[in-house]
């Protein structure tokens, strides 16, 4: 099997267009939850692919959070975190409402992260919130940035 060098491809709307450099076979594929992986073509070429990061990549995460608004103080747990938002569940019901401005506090490692967020949906005890950007150069932003980065894994995708 011949192995090609790394090719950097554009990550558009969660998909990328792969084209084999030997046989020209091409296919639009769904971006995996990883930025580096390999694509195997039936012609025998194995290509390492690197995608650019999606800012909306959502990392599955189970982290305890405190949710604080003017009328509500509660505890919850995240289901996923991205640069732009957090979703999860919380312990009390019907006290959070769409449009509420909240603070969401949690720790990554030893670092306390305080998000200023707006509640975007509430459904039973599940919530989704859109987060403002954390202060530039802050330890929290750096820590979160690393945390939500998609993993580099050796996945094999088949081009067929």
Residues that bind Zn ion (CB under 5 A): 20, 22-23, 25, 41, 43, 45
Q: With respect to Zn ion, which residue has the nearer C-beta, 43 or 68? A: 43
Q: With respect to Zn ion, which residue has the nearer C-beta, 47 or 78? A: 47
Q: With respect to Zn ion, which residue has the nearer C-beta, 47 or 82? A: 47
Q: With respect to Zn ion, which residue has the nearer C-beta, 23 or 133? A: 23
Closest distance between Zn ion and the C-beta of residue 41, in Å?
3
Angle at 149 between CA 123 and CA 11, to 5 degrees: 90
Pairing of strands 2-9, 111-123: unpaired
Closest distance between Zn ion and the C-beta of residue 71, in Å?
60
For residue 6, the surrounding DSSP H or E stretch is strand 2-9
Closest distance between Zn ion and the C-beta of residue 10, in Å?
20
Closest distance between Zn ion and the C-beta of residue 12, in Å?
22
In terms of C-beta density within 10 A (0-12 exposed, 13-18 middle, 19 or more buried), how is residue 105 classed?
A: middle
Tokens at residue 19, please? 């084209």
| Rounded Cα gap, residues 34 and 12, in angstroms | 14
């Amino acid at each position: 099997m011949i192995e090609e060098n790394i090719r950097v491809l554009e990550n558009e709307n969660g998909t990328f267009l792969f084209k084999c450099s030997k046989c020209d076979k091409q296919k639009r594929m769904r971006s995996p939850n990883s930025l580096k992986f390999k694509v195997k073509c039936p012609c025998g070429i194995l290509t390492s692919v690197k995608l650019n990061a999606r800012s909306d990549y959502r990392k599955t995460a189970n982290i305890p959070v405190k949710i604080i608004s003017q009328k509500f103080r509660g505890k919850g747990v995240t289901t996923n975190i991205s640069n732009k938002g957090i979703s999860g569940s919380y312990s009390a019901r019907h006290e959070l409402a769409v449009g509420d401005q909240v603070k969401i506090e949690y720790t990554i490692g030893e670092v306390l992260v305080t998000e200023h967020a707006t509640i975007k949906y509430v459904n039973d005890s599940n919530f989704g919130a859109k987060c403002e950007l954390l202060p530039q150069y802050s330890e929290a932003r750096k820590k979160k940035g690393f945390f939500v980065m998609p993993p580099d894994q050796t996945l094999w995708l088949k081009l067929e």
